[in-house]
Amino acid sequence: MHPINISSLKKAYGNICALRGIDLQIPEGKIYGLIGPNGSGKTTLIKSIVGAIKPSSGSISVCGMDPQKDKWEIRKLIGYMPQSSSLFESLNTRDNITFFGKAYNLENLNKKVDEIIEFTELKKRENDPIYTFSGGMKKRVSLACALIHKPKLLLLDEPTAAVDPHLRRRSWELFRELASSGTTLLISTHLMDEALLCDNITILNKGKVILTDTPDEVLKKGKSRLVINTNEEKIEDFILSKPDTLASKLHEFGLTKNITSIKIEQDTLEDIVLSEIKKNES
């Protein structure tokens, strides 16, 4: 059984349909990247999984439990990092993490706080109050708080928004380390280079999953463009990413002296996501 099993999940806020029938299974030890335009339902989906909001219909099973009925049991298994900081600004790093640890009634809490501070590389700032931190460093403390009870499932809502490239890289190394040790992660992001680091990319649009697959398979949906510049003109043509289709296109144009450059441009993940969304809406 997968740690997360979602079927026909719907959520309406009054007359706004935020989720319109989501089916999604997330296997153990995998990182799923949730991408989609603003308002596509990513936060609503994550909040439904952690039990913070009640779905209108459909079912969610988290490690075999129902997030609404088994709220307290499930919270022991889940680490959740919301989009906006839920830290105590006047407390320091250590006290914030300790607060969350106490909420879970953890034994040997001091030792566990030491370990998590080490793991998230927060040692140098452990005694500084949160109001002195940058946005990116606050995200890191939030992550430490979400990890203190060693959750089996980690739900992260844009964990690296406003985080600098060094911290982002370190965060993704941490996510991969956690997945290797069996933790299952669902991460929402607007950053396409991060989506490519996931085991699976799930694209949401208007409250529906329009595509879920491995990054390689999603990239295969992209087109390649052959761009030939001559002295007089620029010729663009779509080709399949196969050597024989490239060769036949080149035969078509011939290699004449007035060709100044030949380039092959591959659709990026962003191009593919935008075209899938357009296809879904047409």
Measured in Å, how far apart are the chain's first and last C-alpha atoms? Answer: 36
Q: Is residue 155 a contact residue for ligand ATP (CB under 6 A)?
A: no
Q: Provide, rounded to whole angstroms, the least separation between the CB of residue 181 and ligand ATP.
A: 28
Q: Of 16, 162, 264, 274, which lies in the binding site for ligand ATP, with binding defined by CB under 6 A?
A: 16
Quote the least distance from Cβ 103 to ligand ATP, whole Å.
Answer: 24
Closest separation in Å from C-beta 194 to ligand ATP: 14
Query: Crossing angle of helices 135-147/165-180, nearest 10°?
Result: 10
Residue number with CB closer to ligand ATP (93 or 202): 202
Dig out the tokens for 263 from the structure: 């380039």
CB 258 within 8 A of CB 272: no
Q: Looking at 33, 36, 82, 101, which residue binds ligand ATP (CB under 6 A)?
A: 36
Of the candidate spans 12-20, 116-124, 127-135, 162-170, the one that interacts with ligand ATP by CB under 6 A turns out to be 12-20
Nearest of 51, 43, 36 to residue 18 by alpha carbon? 43
Can you tell me which of 4, 9, 18, 22 binds ligand ATP, judged by CB under 6 A? 18
Where helices occur in 93-164 by DSSP H, the ranges are 93-103, 109-119, 135-147
Nearest 5 degrees, angle CA 200-CA 203-CA 204?
A: 140
Please list every residue from 38 through 57 that binds ligand ATP, using CB under 6 A.
Answer: 38-44
Are 31 and 172 in contact, with CB atoms under 8 Å apart?
no
Q: Which long-range contacts does 237-245 make (Cβ < 8 Å, 24+ apart)?
A: 239/264, 241/266
Nearer to ligand ATP, 80 or 100 (CB): 80
CB of 84 to ligand ATP, least distance (A): 10
The residues that touch ligand ATP, with contacts defined as CB under 6 A, are 13, 16, 18, 36, 38-44
